[in-house]
Amino acid sequence: MLSTRVIACLDVHNGRTVKGVNFINLNDAGDPVEQAKLYSNIGADEICFLDISATNEKRKAMFNIISKTAECCFVPLTVGGGVNSVNDFRELLNCGADKISINSSAVYNPNLIRQSSDKFGNQCVVLAIDANENKSMPSGYEVTTHGGKKKTNIDVLQWAKEGVKKGAGEILLTSMTSDGTKKGYNLKLTKLISENVTVPVIASGGAGNPKDMVDVVLKAGASAVLAASIFHFGIHSIWSVKREMLKNGIKIRECEKKNE
């Protein structure tokens, strides 16, 4: 049985970590390089660095900041934002990223999933899905792009299955309606995807406390939990999450109590 991963997410805008609610009203949450170093030292299993404005601004990711982040990060680093080609994959991997997250670009060019998977291995390809509730969709959820700003008329479950078939090695699943609310993950959505794909599913959007993270693993089958706000603003620590998981029989990679 694999350990459940606790992932700290750095949503980066203009070189700073930010966090809002439902992807809007962004508040400054610190320097991404320093935060990555901190989370790496206090027990995060992975760091996720998402340049959230790159796609909307039609630019590439900030390679210099990503490189600095990778240099001080001693756990796997996933990078996303502004990735549109196999060459972008190569550049980010050369900057020190371990995995690359693709979202909007994969929707508009699904072959990018296969091309990057064939070139670098599916363990490097994370398909990020931003899901919004839409009762007209077969699954009840629609894929959105550009940070949730654009609808696609693509069913989330159909897209998740297609992405895995094309070579995605992992799915980063974000509930847009839950993001930043601290009211808990969308268990229904997470369970729907985790039960119908053969790759790990990272639950994202809505973590408010360690119990939320336990619930999305035990009740919805998530392989990893991702959070931003509760870690950035000191509401809960990495260790408090892992301690709650241990209490509930979830296998984890243990860490020192440095952040309590």
Give the residue from 178, 181, 180, 174 showing the smallest Cα distance to 222: 174
Could you tell me the CA-to-CA distances from 225 to 16, 99, 200, 212 in Å, in that order?
22, 16, 11, 9
SS3 at position 229: helix
Q: Which residues pair with 128 in a beta bridge?
A: 172
Strand (E) or helix (H) holding 48 = strand 46-51
The number of CA neighbours under 13 Å toward the Cβ of 113 is 24
Mind telling me the catalytic residues?
11, 130
**Concatenated DSSP letters for 155-172?**
EHHHHHHHHHHHT-SEEE
What type of residue sits at position 129? Answer: I
Q: Which of 236, 222, 220, 206 is nearest to 244 (CA)?
A: 236
The count of residues in the chain is 260
Residue type, position 125, single letter: V
- Burial label for 150, CB within 10 Å (0-12, 13-18, 19+), is middle
